[in-house]
């Protein structure tokens, strides 16, 4: 392939992806504080927690502060080895609305979070179930706005794009790529308009189900071996003819996912290969594609400037690089992700591709994925 054809292809692909992003940013509905649903069914807020002493107090107190008049809050302590349970018990002494479950021993054939959520759902009384992670913080109007969003979209599962709290350089460099990948590759209108289950997406940090739908798809038991259980749950919802809605909750819900490069590496290594359903062909194609699209153009740009070929020598790789930076800046402004990492996109992407290869190495090498003191191995999924 000549360089001319290569550049034409890259410009075409990037222009197409840019169009998807613009369409998604226009299409996606934002949760608005102060909006109320037409009715107020009992909502069970369900929080699995394992070794979350850094996050659990802020999460639980933010959930207790909800202005929604009809909810129960159940937190499951999944055999934490730190002060998670102690913190929960202290909060319960102050506010009896906090219900604490002690997790059962993890049975064979289950992953930890899925089994924790399964136990929580068994205890829940609500007409709606909200599964949310222990590292999230919710603004007071979040639950009411989410119920209103569920009603307005006629959805059976509402999931949110959440905001990130990022403090270290590694968080700021890598985590915004989660939003990038989600919003650049999947046209969000297809989540609602196309029944194929692969055109679905969910974020386990916030998943609001109608209870009858959660039960109808088999709940977390149906995805008990899935490391990316949120995506597989959304696919099951769509496959059985129910509706999924993805909305922008980044100003209502924030999350401190990881705090250093080691945590990011372990977390992404746990999820990336599983996200490709353990297909080495699929993962390899992704790595090659991203290298060609996002890493090669800035390298060619620097090389052309170094050769001093003049304006026309470096214009096309500069245009390719600029399109990507423009996409990242749009996401940064919409979701408050910080603008510096937008200009360091190739570096962040290179780290992610390295982590992706490590993810495959963990699983295929027999080591398995390590997360919160537990090691998980290969389990492919079917919708």
pLDDT above 60 (res 190) = yes
Tokens of 46: 């369900």
Residue 382 has a pLDDT of 62
pLDDT above 70 (res 178) = yes
Tokens of 344: 């360091």
* Residue closest to 213 by CA, chosen among 204, 222, 205: 222
| Average pLDDT estimate for 31-57 | 95
Residue pLDDT, tens place only, 229-278? 999 999 999 999 999 999 999 999 999 999 999 999 988 988 898 888 88
Quick one: pLDDT band at residue 365, thresholds 50, 70, 90?
Answer: confident
pLDDT above 80 (res 307) = no
Residue 217 has a pLDDT of 97
DSSP 3-state of 244: strand
Pairing of strands 253-255, 163-164: parallel
Residues 6+ apart with CB under 8 A from 246: 28, 159, 160, 161, 188, 191, 201, 202, 203
Tokens of 211: 């209870």
Whether 321 is in a domain gets the answer: yes
* Together in a domain, 328 and 242: no
* Together in a domain, 296 and 250: no
User: In total, how many domains does the chain have?
Assistant: 2
19-23, 272-276, 371-375 — most confident range: 19-23
**Other Cβ atoms within 10 Å of 311 Cβ, number:** 7
Residue pLDDT, tens place only, 137-170? 999 999 999 999 999 999 999 999 999 999 999 9
Strands of 258-380, DSSP E:
369-371, 374-376
* Together in a domain, 207 and 336: no
Residue 310 has a pLDDT of 56
C-alpha torsion angle, residues 301, 180, 363, 361 (rounded to 10):
10
pLDDT above 60 (res 187) = yes
What's the domain range around 238? 31-162+203-259
* Together in a domain, 209 and 255: yes
Tokens of 340: 């510096």
Quick one: pLDDT band at residue 176, thresholds 50, 70, 90?
Answer: very high
pLDDT above 80 (res 195) = yes
**Other Cβ atoms within 10 Å of 327 Cβ, number:** 22
| Average pLDDT estimate for 94-106 | 96
CB 328 within 8 A of CB 176: yes
Whether 171 is in a domain gets the answer: no
Q: Which residues of 206-224 are buried (b: 16+ CB within 10 A; e: fewer)?
A: bbbbbbebbebbebbebbb
CB 130 within 8 A of CB 6: no
CA distances from 84 to 44, 46, 72, 101, 190 (A): 21, 16, 20, 12, 40
Q: What is the DSSP letter of 291?
A: I
Q: What percent of the chain has pLDDT over 70?
A: 94
Whether 185 is in a domain gets the answer: no
CATH number of the domain to which 216 belongs: 3.90.550.10
* Residue closest to 243 by CA, chosen among 346, 159, 305: 159
C-alpha torsion angle, residues 255, 260, 266, 269 (rounded to 10):
80
Residue pLDDT, tens place only, 76-90? 999 999 999 999 999
CB 133 within 8 A of CB 227: no
| Average pLDDT estimate for 189-204 | 88
Tokens of 14: 């990037």
CB 250 within 8 A of CB 335: yes
User: What span, in angstroms and rounded, lies between the C-alpha atoms of 328 and 320?
Assistant: 13
Q: What percent of the chain has pLDDT over 90?
A: 77
Whether 75 is in a domain gets the answer: yes
pLDDT above 70 (res 308) = no
pLDDT above 80 (res 359) = yes
* Together in a domain, 140 and 248: yes
* Together in a domain, 157 and 304: no
CA distances from 359 to 267, 278, 279, 289 (A): 9, 10, 12, 17
User: What span, in angstroms and rounded, lies between the C-alpha atoms of 376 and 110?
Assistant: 9
pLDDT above 90 (res 37) = yes
Residue 5 has a pLDDT of 81
Whether 88 is in a domain gets the answer: yes
Backbone angles phi, psi at 58, to 5 degrees: -60, -40
pLDDT above 80 (res 312) = no
Residues 6+ apart with CB under 8 A from 229: 111, 113, 114, 117, 204, 220, 223
* Together in a domain, 78 and 146: yes
| Average pLDDT estimate for 129-140 | 98
Whether 187 is in a domain gets the answer: no
27-36, 215-224, 263-272 — most confident range: 215-224
Lowest mean pLDDT among 20-24, 75-79, 186-190, 273-277: 273-277
> Taking CA 133 as the corner, what is the angle to CA 334 and CA 244, rounded to the nearest 5 degrees?
65
pLDDT above 70 (res 313) = no
**Other Cβ atoms within 10 Å of 93 Cβ, number:** 9
Average pLDDT over the chain reads 92
* Together in a domain, 16 and 134: no
């Amino acid at each position: 392939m000549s360089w001319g054809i290569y550049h034409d292809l890259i410009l075409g692909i990037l222009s197409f992806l840019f169009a998807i992003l613009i369409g998604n940013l226009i299409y996606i509905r934002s949760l608005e504080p102060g909006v109320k649903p037409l009715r107020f069914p009992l909502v069970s807020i369900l929080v699995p927690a394992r070794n979350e002493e850094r996050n659990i107090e802020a999460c639980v107190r933010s959930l207790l502060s909800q202005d929604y008049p009809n909810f129960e809050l159940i937190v499951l302590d999944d055999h934490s080895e730190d002060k998670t349970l102690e913190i929960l018990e202290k909060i319960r002494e102050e506010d009896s609305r906090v219900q604490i479950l002690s997790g059962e021993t993890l049975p064979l054939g289950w992953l930890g979070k899925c089994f924790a959520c399964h136990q929580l759902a068994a205890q829940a009384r609500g007409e709606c179930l909200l599964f949310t992670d222990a590292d999230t913080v919710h603004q007071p109007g979040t639950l009411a706005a989410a119920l209103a969003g569920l009603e307005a979209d006629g959805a059976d599962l509402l999931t949110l794009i959440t905001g990130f709290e990022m403090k270290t350089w590694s968080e700021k460099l890598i985590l915004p790529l989660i939003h990038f990948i989600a919003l650049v590759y999947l046209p969000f209108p297809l989540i609602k308009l196309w029944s194929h289950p692969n055109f679905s997406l969910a974020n386990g940090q916030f998943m609001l189900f109608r209870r009858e739908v959660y039960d109808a798809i088999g709940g977390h038991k149906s995805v008990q071996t899935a490391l990316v259980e949120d995506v597989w749950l959304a696919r099951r919802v769509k496959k059985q003819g129910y509706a999924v809605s993805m909305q922008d909750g980044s100003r209502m819900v924030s999350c401190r996912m990881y705090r250093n490069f080691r945590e990011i590496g372990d977390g992404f290594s746990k999820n990336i290969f599983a996200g490709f359903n353990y297909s080495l062909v699929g993962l390899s194609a992704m790595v090659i594609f991203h290298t060609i699209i996002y890493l090669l153009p800035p390298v060619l740009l620097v090389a052309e400037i170094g050769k001093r070929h003049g304006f026309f020598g470096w214009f096309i790789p500069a245009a390719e690089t600029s399109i990507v930076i423009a996409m990242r800046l749009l996401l940064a402004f919409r979701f408050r992700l910080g603008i510096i990492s937008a200009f360091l996109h190739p570096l962040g992407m290179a780290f992610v591709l390295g982590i992706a290869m490590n993810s495959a190495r963990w699983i295929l090498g027999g080591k398995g994925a390590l997360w919160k003191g537990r090691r998980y191995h290969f389990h492919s999924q079917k919708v």
